Amino acid sequence: MPPIPDDAEVRFRVRYAETDQMGVVYHANYLVWFEMARTQLCRVRGVTYRDIEKNDGLNLAVAEASCRYHQPARYDDELVARAWFKHTHPRMITFAYEIRRAEDNVLLASGETRHVFLKDGKPAKSPAKYFDLFGIA
């Protein structure tokens, strides 16, 4: 059985609707792209948000988000968004991210999101079956 990847990435092109009048990406879109990479990371590790919600009644709520903008992304740039686990705990996971321009690998943005496991709207511990998938020790 192949090893479970420690990170994941998604490739996409900046859409016109994601930019301002000057063709520069609007800042909030980077958080959406972080989410795309994060959900891909979960998927390649063998679980989807839908599975977690449906099978275990758990949600992964964003408790904190940060993004540092290094260079602007522009309309029609091909981008690569990558995510990995920065810190894991039975009650909380911190994901780290990078967004780079595919053409020259220039770092455009980096950031983190911290997620808390919730059950019925209250903080909860992740079931043990997810410990390996999320890298929880």
Q: Based on the residue annotation, tell me whether 7 is a catalytic residue of this protein.
A: no
Q: Measure the CA angle with vertex 136, ends 91 and 9; round to 5°.
A: 100
d(CA 65, CA 17): 23
Catalytic member of 20, 51, 56, 77 = 20
Cα 116–chain centre separation = 14
| DSSP character at residue 4 | P
Q: Cite the active site residues.
A: 20
